[in-house]
Chain A
Amino acid sequence: MMPADEIRVAHEIQLAHDGAWHTVCRYGDLLPGRGVAVLLRGEQVALFRDRAGELYAVQNYDPFGGAYVLSRGLTGSRGDVPVVFSPMYKQAFDLRTGVCLDEETAPDGTPARLLVWPVRVAPPATR
């Protein structure tokens, strides 16, 4: 693990929701390349960390699988785009924008796009 990572292990991860930052876990809870699910005031958010330490947060609901499972998908890249693959039917979603790269519309007719949340490693001052 890189030294910078070691320093961050205990740092808090925060999601922006309804105009405020909410602490959801510690940096060390995240495995590079995998996700966790977060329950945020009744909403389910899938939170990921990639190998470079970058963080992403999108909705946990998979519009194709019809279930709250995206946090259990594998991450990776499609060209230069960081993506998560649905664990149900393997569609790829752009982690930065939530846009599905494989289909335009979800089975219910809405655009195939996930909600995204701003996410950050909390600056030490806020702790």
Chain B
Amino acid sequence: MHPATAPHRHLVLVGHGMVGQRFLETFHEQAGPGWRVTVLAEEPRPAYDRVHLTSWFSGTTDEELAMCTPEFIAEHGIDLRLGEPATAIDRERREVTTSAGRTLRYDALVLATGSYPFVPPVPGHDADGCHVYRTLDDLAAIKAEAATARTGAVVGGGLLGLEAAGALRALGVRTHVVEFAPRLMALQVDDAGGHLLRRKIEELGVTVHTGAGTEAISAGPDGRVRSMALSDGTELDVDLVVFSAGVRPRDQLARACGLPVGARGGIVVDAACRTEDPHILAIGECAQAADGRVYGLVAPGYAMAETAARQLVAQEGEFTGGDTSTKLKLLGVDVASFGDAHGTTDGALDVVYANSRAGIYKKLVVGSDGRLLGGVLVGDTDDYATLRPLLAGAPLAVPPERLLLPAAAGAGGPAPLPDEAVVCSCHNVSKAVVRQAVADGNTSVPQVKKCTKAGTGCGSCEKLLGTIVSEELAARGVATDRGLCEHFTHTRAELYEIIRVKGITEFSRLIDEHGSGEGCQICKPAVASILAGLANGHILDGEQAALQDTNDHFLANIQRGGSYSVVPRIPGGEITPEGLITIGEIARDFGLYTKITGGQRIDMFGARVDDLPRIWRRLVDAGFESGHAYGKSLRTVKSCVGETWCRYGVQDSVGLAVELELRYRGLRSPHKIKAAVSGCARECAEAQSKDFGVIATAEGWNLYVGGNGGTSPRHADLLAADLDRPTLIRTIDRFLMFYIRTADRLERTAPWVARLDGGLDRLRDVIMNDSLGICADLDELMRRHIAAYEDEWAATLADPDRLRRFVSFVNAPGVPDPAVRFTPERGQIRPVRVAGPRLEVRA
């Protein structure tokens, strides 16, 4: 809070979107305490990241999308009025009226009201089931609708339309895209690119209609959309429609108070972002910039926000035109365009590389002076981040075709970027600024992102950012340390390769040849897991026994007081009445506490070490196996009841869950692996919160990967849709083996996927397109795992040597540990904490 000293000037910001928020940030960086700020916001929540809106469907939360913290609002004493839009401006009196009927006097008024989605006025456009795609509330409405919808249509085949189509598809809705222009993304790509794009979109299972307008939408007797008529005579049966036919600037407030607006809308502003009224500025999508354009992208909006803030504080700064580069964030289709993509500049020349077999189309537009003017990339956008910063820089140092050819062919690697090249166009951060940030001690990408803001907009520059940061670190001689622990300088993945390639089967040999010291609680279990993962026999045999964490050592989880818990495997959560009775009888006979776990099985607690073999003897005799609750390995594959019983189910989810659990049981891995299978999109098995999750569709199975609950919950991402069963299983096999081979110790699949260079796309390339040529290896490793599987408990019971350790005391084998004690609670036992020996320190 600022003390009320000088008479404060009052700034009113209308609209708390992305650009409004950026304005506030720049304004507060620059302005002293002389201002009081009020923000009128129409939406019920503070500014959030609209650019990544679609990721909300794949689990990004409202919190993660938020761009403004309560601390920011409090720190700057901002009066933020959520859900209270401005309704009128009185320029004479310099007052704004709000929907709550209040009037606010302003010294400066900044309009950042954004755009509204254009809905073509076709008959039926307002039927139930028709939506737009702009706000979090819109997405929530679409998601709710999609739960019961079968077929949807997206009107508009531009950037947003395709994003929306991808989202509908992932929600399990059969999807059509209807585009008036003869090609998709008409604004960004050219004909050849559009053609390839269409093919790729259709491969995703989306039906594309180009050159077709929407004539009418008809509703059924319940008022809900039932069908849609296209201008080419097609009739589509749809029960969900999303309009994404472009946006229009929200300039009504300005129009109503007599401010000039452009011919196609947009509040007219000059290079200083001022309107005709010196007290009123306009920024972002609601404004028509000094170059006569209305920009529908965030980067120019940010530049305007910064200009307006500087104008208010110091009367300096200009915005004359912005970058319109875009990259599509649609699952599975890579499209990017930047600069003068259509080659409209005088004397511009095209250089094209097309490979229709690989589905790649790339075009660069080069000026007569040899400067790069723009380009289009379809199917492979890896070069987007490196090409865009070269825009309108010095004439290219290498022939343009070198920039287009696949890396291997075009020897010499990527063209080195000059220092002034803009790496991040969302935040206008140059390579020099990134290098400086590293020089200042920011040694990781997250740190650099935090201090420069680069990479925190659309995210498309993140990969390039990573490259520059590592190059800079390497140039400064800073080594990045990912060593396992004090005994090994290798990462887990490196140790895995060493062990595999050298055929090492003993920890002693590994640490003597590749490490130092005696090992510790970090490297020993990690190595044990690698050895077990490479199917090296029973984990309690030979030297391996000495490496296991106590849980693996006794094939049970240690609990409070030193007793152990017993978890038999119950694949898919399916269990017979006899099975239930057996578990009940055993628990009763050994006095164990029983509980249904969060993993759809039954845990028995309170077993003494000595009792474990006897308890397991009975379980094994009744057909149960180890549930590996103690290992870093597959835990459970949860299921919903599925099509067999559930009236909504479309596939046998229990059957698949059982099959998967039996296939991967006992698979040792860097961290635990959890999975689930749901019988339909209602997702009762919570498959999207698992390391791998499968959701049934009418056509097959959707595979999600990289989810987890726990400390940092994360929703899984859709890896592939509508797979048949053999393809599904093969893909999961490879996913797991690739993970086991390359992840760090205690790294679950989510952070591992995020760390993969190229993320989900890369993963898809490696395990579905075999881009590294290792799939045969991965398949073989899984085959070996399955062939070598044996129930660890049955094998232990069969071997007196392994059984010898299950005693409380080496010198008194029959004596149970007197320190393990229990007391009754709610009809069962609970452990009691016991005191230790009195400490009298001996010399």
Given contacts A25-B811, A34-B545, A110-B839, contact A77 B558 (CB under 8 A): no
Query: Are A77 and B811 in contact (CB-based, < 8 A)?
Result: no
Query: Are B837 and A88 in contact (CB-based, < 8 A)?
Result: no
Q: When chains A and B are docked, how far (Å) is the Cα of A59 from the Cα of B523?
A: 25
Bitwise interface map of B from 500 to 540 toward A, beta carbon under 8 Å scored 1, else 0? 00000000100000000111110111000000000000000
Chain A hits for B820, CB < 8 A: 67-68
Q: Which of A90-119 contact B (CB under 8 A)?
A: 90, 92, 110-111, 113, 115-116
User: Closest Cβ of chain B: how far from A3's Cβ, in Å?
Assistant: 16
Q: When chains A and B are docked, how far (Å) is the Cα of A44 from the Cα of B819?
A: 9
CB nearest to A63 among chain B residues:
B836
Query: Are A72 and B546 in contact (CB-based, < 8 A)?
Result: no
Query: Are A59 and B837 in contact (CB-based, < 8 A)?
Result: yes
Residue of B517, B550, B809 touching A69 (CB-CB under 8 A): B550
Query: Are A68 and B817 in contact (CB-based, < 8 A)?
Result: yes
Query: Are B546 and A32 in contact (CB-based, < 8 A)?
Result: yes
Query: Are B546 and A77 in contact (CB-based, < 8 A)?
Result: no
Given contacts A76-B520, A85-B521, contact A37 B810 (CB under 8 A): yes
Chain B hits for A77, CB < 8 A: 487, 517-520
User: Closest Cβ of chain A: how far from B310's Cβ, in Å?
Assistant: 53
Chain A hits for B525, CB < 8 A: 74
Q: Which of A32, A50, A79 has the most CB of B within 10 A?
A: A32
**A43: interface (CB < 8 Å):** yes
Bitwise interface map of A from 37 to 56 toward B, beta carbon under 8 Å scored 1, else 0? 11110011001001100000
User: Closest Cβ of chain B: how far from A65's Cβ, in Å?
Assistant: 8
Residue of B486, B487, B508, B836 touching A51 (CB-CB under 8 A): B508
- Residues of A in contact, count (CB < 8 Å): 45
**A24: interface (CB < 8 Å):** yes
User: Closest Cβ of chain B: how far from A30's Cβ, in Å?
Assistant: 8
Query: Are B518 and A38 in contact (CB-based, < 8 A)?
Result: no
**B130: interface (CB < 8 Å):** no
**B842: interface (CB < 8 Å):** yes
Contacts between chains A and B (CB distance < 8 A), count: 125
User: Closest Cβ of chain B: how far from A42's Cβ, in Å?
Assistant: 9
Query: Are A116 and B842 in contact (CB-based, < 8 A)?
Result: yes
CB nearest to A32 among chain B residues:
B546
Residue of B486, B521, B836, B842 touching A61 (CB-CB under 8 A): B836
Q: Which of A24, A38, A72, A85 has the most CB of B within 10 A?
A: A72
Chain B hits for A44, CB < 8 A: 809, 817, 819, 837
Query: Are A90 and B811 in contact (CB-based, < 8 A)?
Result: no
Residue of B523, B546, B811 touching A38 (CB-CB under 8 A): B811
Q: When chains A and B are docked, how far (Å) is the Cα of A46 from the Cα of B553?
A: 16
User: Closest Cβ of chain A: how far from B550's Cβ, in Å?
Assistant: 4
Bitwise interface map of B from 584 to 613 toward A, beta carbon under 8 Å scored 1, else 0? 000000000000000000000000000000
Bitwise interface map of B from 812 to 830 toward A, beta carbon under 8 Å scored 1, else 0? 1001010110000000000
Query: Are B836 and A78 in contact (CB-based, < 8 A)?
Result: no
Query: Are A76 and B834 in contact (CB-based, < 8 A)?
Result: no
Chain B hits for A92, CB < 8 A: 520-521
Given contacts A75-B518, A76-B518, A113-B841, contact A67 B561 (CB under 8 A): yes
Residue of A40, A50, A76, A87 touching B524 (CB-CB under 8 A): A76
Given contacts A31-B545, A68-B819, contact A74 B524 (CB under 8 A): yes
Q: When chains A and B are docked, how far (Å) is the Cα of A51 from the Cα of B512?
A: 11
Residue of A34, A69, A111 touching B839 (CB-CB under 8 A): A111
Q: When chains A and B are docked, how far (Å) is the Cα of A66 from the Cα of B546?
A: 24
Query: Are A115 and B839 in contact (CB-based, < 8 A)?
Result: yes
CB nearest to B553 among chain A residues:
A72
User: Closest Cβ of chain A: how far from B644's Cβ, in Å?
Assistant: 43
Q: When chains A and B are docked, how far (Å) is the Cα of A89 from the Cα of B487?
A: 20
CB nearest to B528 among chain A residues:
A74
Chain B hits for A36, CB < 8 A: 809-810
CB nearest to A31 among chain B residues:
B546
User: Closest Cβ of chain B: how far from A95's Cβ, in Å?
Assistant: 10
User: Closest Cβ of chain B: how far from A27's Cβ, in Å?
Assistant: 12
User: Closest Cβ of chain A: how far from B358's Cβ, in Å?
Assistant: 50
Q: Which of B523-576 contact A (CB under 8 A)?
A: 523-525, 543, 545-547, 549-551, 553-554, 558, 560-562
**B833: interface (CB < 8 Å):** yes
Q: When chains A and B are docked, how far (Å) is the Cα of A113 from the Cα of B833?
A: 19
**B443: interface (CB < 8 Å):** no
Chain B hits for A34, CB < 8 A: 545-546, 553
Chain B hits for A87, CB < 8 A: 549-551, 558
Residue of A38, A43, A73, A76 touching B519 (CB-CB under 8 A): A76
Query: Are B518 and A69 in contact (CB-based, < 8 A)?
Result: no
User: Closest Cβ of chain B: how far from A105's Cβ, in Å?
Assistant: 11
Q: Which of A50, A83, A85 has the most CB of B within 10 A?
A: A85
Chain A hits for B836, CB < 8 A: 59, 61, 63, 66, 68
Residue of A47, A63, A72, A115 touching B550 (CB-CB under 8 A): A72
Q: When chains A and B are docked, how far (Å) is the Cα of A90 from the Cα of B525?
A: 13
Q: Which of B771-829 contact A (CB under 8 A)?
A: 808-812, 815, 817, 819-820
Q: When chains A and B are docked, how far (Å) is the Cα of A36 from the Cα of B819?
A: 16
User: Closest Cβ of chain A: how far from B342's Cβ, in Å?
Assistant: 62
Q: When chains A and B are docked, how far (Å) is the Cα of A33 from the Cα of B839?
A: 26
**A29: interface (CB < 8 Å):** yes
Given contacts A44-B819, A69-B558, A115-B842, contact A39 B518 (CB under 8 A): no
Chain A hits for B521, CB < 8 A: 73-74, 76, 85, 90, 92
Residue of B543, B561, B815, B841 touching A39 (CB-CB under 8 A): B815
Q: Which of B238-261 contact A (CB under 8 A)?
A: none
CB nearest to B808 among chain A residues:
A37
Q: When chains A and B are docked, how far (Å) is the Cα of A29 from the Cα of B525?
A: 22
Query: Are B520 and A74 in contact (CB-based, < 8 A)?
Result: yes
User: Closest Cβ of chain A: how far from B785's Cβ, in Å?
Assistant: 25
Chain A hits for B810, CB < 8 A: 24-25, 29, 36-38, 47
User: Closest Cβ of chain A: how far from B829's Cβ, in Å?
Assistant: 16
CB nearest to A69 among chain B residues:
B562
CB nearest to B558 among chain A residues:
A87
User: Closest Cβ of chain A: how far from B142's Cβ, in Å?
Assistant: 47
Q: Which of B508, B546, B833, B840 has the most CB of A within 10 A?
A: B546
Q: When chains A and B are docked, how far (Å) is the Cα of A38 from the Cα of B558?
A: 19
Q: Which of B524, B543, B810 has the most CB of A within 10 A?
A: B810
Q: When chains A and B are docked, how far (Å) is the Cα of A65 from the Cα of B560?
A: 7
8 of the cross-chain contacts (CB-CB < 8 Å) are A24-B810, A38-B809, A39-B812, A67-B833, A73-B521, A75-B518, A76-B518, A78-B520
Known: A39-B815, A85-B521. 14 other contacts (CB 8 A): A25-B811, A33-B546, A38-B811, A51-B518, A61-B837, A68-B562, A72-B550, A74-B519, A74-B547, A76-B524, A87-B550, A110-B839, A113-B841, A115-B841
